[in-house]
Structure 1
Amino acid sequence: MNLLIRTLVSRQSSLFICRRHLTTEKSRRAFRLPLLTDKFRSSQPSSPRNNNNNKNPFRFINEKNIVTGIIIVNGIVFIIWQFSYANLRSNRDQRLLWFMTKNFMVSWDGVVRENRVWTLLTSAFSHFDLTHFLINSFVLYSFGPPVLSHIGLSAFIQLFLVSAIGCSLSHIFYQRFYDRRPSLPAVGASGVTMGMTVLYSFLRPFDTVLLFFIIPMPVIVGVGAFITYDLYRAITHRQKNIGSAGHIGGAIAGALYYFLKIRGRL
């Protein structure tokens, strides 16, 4: 166990597939909404929201704060990761780091062999790199409110869960059957952000986003370019520490949720 923890600390950049660099590129290539929600929210009467609050299983959650709440939870988990590493270095206490590794990272071995099924979801709240956390937070803050405004709170939470779990399943199956490294874990909310951006691209395909914060293009073109890039990286085994297979899983989950749950209500 001691050797494993020392390996985790000293080689985290190469050992873990963190859904990281693609989301870093998201900040540079920018899924940035020019007029984030004003015009979009003005069309709420035609959106497929469920206005019957009695049928909303998540009515105890404040709709106005749900996106901020998700980012705060991600931030808390990020801080715990940092504290666990600092605690190991200063006090040689590995218990917290071991707990985080077991409960906030997802891998085939962890889910299938050790039955830690909950990591399919908890890994989506987990970031131990500041850039990774900030970029995912930026995308969530940009796309979360307009998606929530259109589909409603219950559907938004369902989309979050479906995208997170879809991302994790895609990652572990890819690592087990294609990359042949079933013990390689992953963390991050990038699958969730992919699910949201894909669904948004179906709802508002011709909204303009800025590639590299400079080049304007329809959002559906930008999202399609990212998915194509991820497919190339996954098929050619060029993921490195980028969880491209997980991104694809999140994107597929978002697309399926749109066609199976949202489109029929439009």
Structure 2
Amino acid sequence: MFRCQFNGIKALSRSISFTLRKPAPSTLSRGVLVFPSSINKTVPFGPHSQPKKELKCFFSSTALGSARARFRTTQKEPPPQPPLEPEPAPEYHDPPDLPPNEPKRKEPGSGLVKIFLAITVPILLLSVSGDFVRMTVTREEVCEALGLDPTVRPGPKYYDEYIRRYKPEKVFWLNLSEKIKLNFSFCAHNAVGEGESFRWWTPLTAQFNHGGLLHLFVCYTTLKAFAPVLVQLYGNRVTGTIFVAGGIMAQAFVALFEKSVNPFVAMSQEKILNKVKSGLTKDEESQLRRAISFAMGSSTSLMAMGTICAIVWPAMKLNLMFIPIGIPIRTALGAVVAFDIGGMFYDYGIPIGHSGHIGGAIAGVIMYALWIRKLPTVFQRRIAQAMNGRGINIR
């Protein structure tokens, strides 16, 4: 109920009361009561009035009794807003370079690769030091001093004999090269042969000696392919253990396999010399060469690592030199295994330790079945540590 009193109007002798419907405060900004009249009076707008809200009343002196009230609301229209301009498309910017003080992230497995190079490169240089010494002597000097035919190239033993006789200052490097080869190479005949003194450390040290720069380069690139995968999954310690244990197990397989199929492995040196004097067939020459040859290189360890990578990450692809497409690891590993199985029973004429490669693959399968598959990955260990830090025990 709103009561409006109008005083000072001569035509009215008493107060006039009228009833209005209360408007909703949330929808009205100004109320106007309109009558067809020329008398204008402005009064406040009810109990919820605000300073800027007013009620305008218009009255007619001749039609007060039958006046009809109409109520309307007026609002101030907001000022027109300028049209919104379309936002420009975000521009692509290259990621900012790291600050000079912030170190760059290292590739997983780079530490193991550096340790591998720090050990293998000096051993390789010392191992081939005898070859460098032989290069300082010409063929004419050797043939003239030893009375050999100058038209025929003499073998390494003649160069060594000449150096020991006439170049005593270079004998040290020949002896050092021979000692490195004996202590950093594995020989099946020395391991299981009759009357031989086995150097028990050679299955480990043979993994860090290589036959030349090309052999070392191939093993280095292969290690760079397998090490990041295993380090991301299991960490540096597990990856290093796989490398060392795989090589040792592979050399043990070589000794057992050659002893079972090669009769020269178990013979003593006297029996071998008597057999050579009596004459050898082509197959026997191949067997003798495998029995007394020195195996070296990290390819046995890399075969174990590659086998585990093929099991835990079958989608991995290898980018080989001079091949523009990636080869699935299982396809590449299967081809290498098939080639090595053939080389174990047929002589390709290539100085490759086929039985060592097969031993490395078998070692990888054994290590995965008995050890690796039971280990949590690095990501699983981090999740467990985070959950345990919040008081949630994970079994």
Above 0.5 in TM-score?
yes
Counterpart for residue 202 of structure 1: 311
DSSP 3-state at the match of 2:128: helix
Distance in 1 of aligned mates of 2:311 and 2:257: 26
Distance in 1 of aligned mates of 2:357 and 2:372: 21
Counterpart for residue 223 of structure 1: 333
Counterpart for residue 11 of structure 1: none
Q: Which amino acid aligns with 1:214?
A: P
Q: 1:184 to 1:220 in 2, by over 3 A?
A: same
Superposed displacement of residue 166, structure 1: 1.9
**Equivalence map 1:122-201=2 (5 Å):** 122-179=205-262, 180=264, 181=288, 182-201=291-310
- Choose the corresponding residue for 1:108, options 181, 188, 211: 188
Which of structures 1 and 2 has the bigger CA Rg? Answer: 2
Counterpart for residue 69 of structure 1: 115
Aligned residue-pair number: 207
Percent identity of paired positions between Structure 1 and Structure 2? 23
Answer 1 or 2: which has greater helix percent: 1
Q: Which amino acid aligns with 1:218?
A: P
Distance in 1 of aligned mates of 2:243 and 2:207: 10
Q: Which amino acid aligns with 2:198?
A: N
Which deviates more, 191-200 or 163-172? 163-172
Residues 60-107 of structure 1: per-residue CA shift (max 9 Å, x gap): xxx751221112211111111122333466524431022112201111
Q: In angstroms, what is the RMSD of aligned CA positions?
A: 2.4
Distance in 2 of aligned mates of 1:66 and 1:115: 29
Superposed displacement of residue 245, structure 1: 0.5
Aligned residues of 1:234 and 1:244 also touching (Cα < 8 A): yes
Residues 27-73 of structure 1: per-residue CA shift (max 9 Å, x gap): xxxxxxxxxxx9x98xxxxxxxxxxxxxxxxxxxxx75122111221
Superposed displacement of residue 224, structure 1: 1.4
Aligned residues of 1:68 and 1:141 also touching (Cα < 8 A): no
- Structure 1 length normalisation: TM-score? 0.70
Counterpart for residue 50 of structure 2: none
Superposed displacement of residue 264, structure 1: 2.2
Superposed displacement of residue 243, structure 1: 0.5
Q: Which amino acid aligns with 2:201?
A: W
Q: Which amino acid aligns with 1:168?
A: Q
Q: Which amino acid aligns with 1:72?
A: A
Q: 1:85 to 1:210 in 2, by over 3 A?
A: closer
Counterpart for residue 158 of structure 2: none
Q: Which amino acid aligns with 1:127?
A: H
DSSP 3-state at the match of 2:326: strand
Distance in 2 of aligned mates of 1:263 and 1:235: 33
Superposed displacement of residue 208, structure 1: 2.6
Distance in 2 of aligned mates of 1:177 and 1:184: 17
Structure 1 residues without counterparts, runs of 5 or longer = 1-37, 42-62
Distance in 1 of aligned mates of 2:368 and 2:306: 11
Structure 2 residues without counterparts, runs of 5 or longer = 1-104, 137-169, 265-287, 377-395
Aligned residues of 1:106 and 1:172 also touching (Cα < 8 A): no
- Structure 2 length normalisation: TM-score? 0.48
Q: 1:222 to 1:64 in 2, by over 3 A?
A: closer
DSSP 3-state at the match of 2:292: coil
Counterpart for residue 248 of structure 1: 358
Counterpart for residue 85 of structure 1: 131
Aligned residues of 2:127 and 2:181 also touching (Cα < 8 A): no
DSSP 3-state at the match of 1:114: coil
Greater relative contact order: 1 or 2 (C-alpha under 8 angstroms, separation 6 or more)?
A: 1
